[in-house]
Chains A and B, each alone.
Chain A
Amino acid sequence: MTPRGAIEAVWRIESARLIGGLVRQVRDVGLAEDLAQEALVVALERWPESGIPENPGAWLMATAKNRGLDELRRRQMQERKQGVLESPGGAATDPAELEAALDENVGDDVLRLVLIACHPVLSKEARAALTLRLLGGLSTEEIARAFLVPEPTIAQRIVRAKRTLAEARVPFELPRGDDLSARLPSVLEVVYLIFNEGYAATRGEDWMRLDLCEDALRLGRILAELVPAEAEVHGLVALMELHGSRLRARVGPDGEPILLLEQDRSRWDQLLIRRGLAALARAEALARPLGIYALQAAITACHARARTAEATDWRKIVALYDALVELTGSPIVELNRAVAVSMAFGPAAGLELVDALVDEPALRSYHLLPSVRGDLLAKLGRTEEARVAFERAARQAQNGRERALLRARARACESGGRS
């Protein structure tokens, strides 16, 4: 008797390729996913008795395809009755054609599915949910748990996303060359969003949600194999591997955050550091100048290479941030650059840059601005100003763990100690 968990595990391994292959044939994401789900239902009925077939992927595809044929025949009947000649979206309606199209390039199928799930017509949140669902093989319930929103919200989001894709008549042809490169930023953005949601949970009481980080890393690694010539894909993978290497060291025994410079570096994961540096080398070999992900990875690599916090090459980090500010023009990046400047050239130099950012509208409710200010003020011995800044930061922080840390720093200022 094959347990249900084993069957679901096999389905998870196969689902992206399965749905990807079906999308190519039926040219309808919703229908493709329904057919794949039906194949899963049949597998859950039959495999407990029969055992898992030798080639489960082919079995699932054949089963889904049979269902698809039934569905297409039914639709054709209906359309004939209604006198409709063409089906929406130019779907492959000929069963024979459907059958013939089965064994094309699997990698292309998965890539097509990624591009559709991350299509720019969809909101970032919708793209993230759809990507986790179609590519990550996560159930609606798992996605809802990961993003701390009610399950119906995610279900709705996915249904609406599929409808949007159908209405926008998103093309199913796989873009090539520059057209493909142009589509990648919206994919990378979503993968990084998923990673960050896990890495620095914006809501809830836990500082990190490791499952999400792992899902994103896995998606990134899959992407890197799908489009190996794209420098920024390797940049993103490098960035996530290097951040991932510190996951263990970022939380204390009671779940409280430990900041980068206070982390015990012996707990950094050397395997992931090696993988991250290798991915960064791939990105650097493919592109000069570096893109935004590769630049961030290069910054993170400076930390990964330093055996102790004191050994960090802050001047190099400042130079990398200069390039990143130029590329992004982002005030958040400028804030990070100010921190690097303070480490390289002293807290006063950093504070000057931070103070110039205080009126930046994009940072008005960003808790890390007063948090960084507080830190620099404390270092300069201006403890009362530091306390006010930390308290302000604590009020703005949305994560419970972070808020507690900021309150503690404010209290440390009260007792007059330099924190």
Chain B
Amino acid sequence: MRVMVMVKASKNSEAGAMPNEKLLSEMGKFNEELVKAGVMLAGDGLHPSSRGKRVHFAGGKKTVVDGPFAETKELVAGFWIWQVKSMEEALAWARRCPDPMPGEESDLELRPIVEAEDFGKAFTPELRAQEERIRAGIEAQKRS
């Protein structure tokens, strides 16, 4: 299974503070360990929400909202995608993560990624027909 691990934002990360050298080297070591164990598929840090945008959907209307966004603790400062055997294994790895926001309280949030088998019966004949229409559309575009 794959798990997305989100490093939740903090006051400092939202203020754009870069990690210090100690944290960088500890995180580098941790990442190396993840790669050597064949666990880490991807991962990156994110700029503070002040550089982000939102598209808000309401009643068929779309509005663009500029960052920064207020609810700091709900924001994401970085993420990994891990390949693991179980949520327990993901947790065991997460516990080895160096404190991502030293001097502040912070969270790692682990969320299993929806995989093929999770779709199950939700992938209905109607959905399939829709996909076929999309494909036919792509074909038509190619010919035109």
Using a CB–CB cutoff of 8 Å, the interface residues on chain A facing chain B are 3, 5-6, 8-10, 12-13, 52, 107, 137, 210, 214, 217-222, 225-226, 247-248, 251-253, 264, 266, 271-272, 275, 308, 310
Hey, what's the 0/1 contact readout for B60-92 against A, CB within 8 Å counting as 1?
000000000000000000000101011011011
Give the dominant DSSP class at A's interface. Answer: helix
Question: How many B residues are at the interface, by size bracket?
Answer: 20 to 34
| 15 A-B pairs with C-beta separation under 8 A | A13-B93, A210-B115, A210-B116, A218-B83, A222-B38, A226-B36, A248-B115, A253-B121, A253-B124, A253-B128, A266-B134, A271-B42, A275-B41, A308-B139, A310-B142
B36 x A264 contact (CB < 8 A) = no
A251 x B35 contact (CB < 8 A) = no
B37 x A222 contact (CB < 8 A) = yes
Contacts of B128 in A (CB 8 A): 252-253
Bound Cα distance A5, B92 (Å): 10
Bound Cα distance A264, B119 (Å): 15
Using a CB–CB cutoff of 8 Å, the interface residues on chain B facing chain A are 1, 35-39, 41-42, 81, 83, 85-86, 88-89, 91-93, 95, 115-117, 119-121, 123-125, 128, 131, 134-135, 138-139, 142
Tell whether A210 pairs with B88 under 8 Å between CB atoms, given A222-B37, A253-B128. no
Among A12, A253, A266, the one with the most B-chain Cβ atoms within 10 Å of its Cβ is A253
Contacts of B39 in A (CB 8 A): 218
B86 x A5 contact (CB < 8 A) = yes
A12 x B89 contact (CB < 8 A) = yes
B41 x A6 contact (CB < 8 A) = no
Tell whether A9 pairs with B86 under 8 Å between CB atoms, given A210-B116, A247-B116. yes
Contacts of B85 in A (CB 8 A): 9, 12, 137
Contacts of B135 in A (CB 8 A): 264
Bound Cα distance A271, B91 (Å): 23
Contacts of A217 in B (CB 8 A): 38, 83
B88 x A5 contact (CB < 8 A) = yes
Chain A: which residue is nearest B132 at the CB level?
A264
Among A52, A214, A251, the one with the most B-chain Cβ atoms within 10 Å of its Cβ is A214
Give the dominant DSSP class at B's interface. Answer: helix
Bound Cα distance A253, B139 (Å): 24
Contacts of A252 in B (CB 8 A): 128
Contacts of A251 in B (CB 8 A): 116
Contacts of A226 in B (CB 8 A): 36
Task: Report A21 CB to chain B, min CB distance, Å.
Answer: 15
Bound Cα distance A253, B120 (Å): 6
Bound Cα distance A308, B81 (Å): 27
Bound Cα distance A210, B2 (Å): 12
A8 x B88 contact (CB < 8 A) = yes
Q: Which 9 A-B pairs have the closest CB atoms?
A: A221-B38, A9-B88, A218-B38, A248-B116, A9-B89, A9-B92, A5-B88, A222-B38, A225-B36
Contacts of B81 in A (CB 8 A): 271
B138 x A264 contact (CB < 8 A) = no
Contacts of A107 in B (CB 8 A): 36
A264 x B131 contact (CB < 8 A) = yes
B117 x A210 contact (CB < 8 A) = yes
Contacts of A264 in B (CB 8 A): 131, 135
Contacts of B134 in A (CB 8 A): 266
With A137-B85, A252-B128 already in contact, 13 other A-B pairs whose C-beta atoms are closer than 8 Å:
A9-B89, A12-B89, A107-B36, A214-B1, A218-B83, A226-B36, A248-B116, A253-B128, A264-B131, A264-B135, A272-B41, A275-B41, A308-B138
Tell whether A13 pairs with B37 under 8 Å between CB atoms, given A6-B88, A210-B117. yes
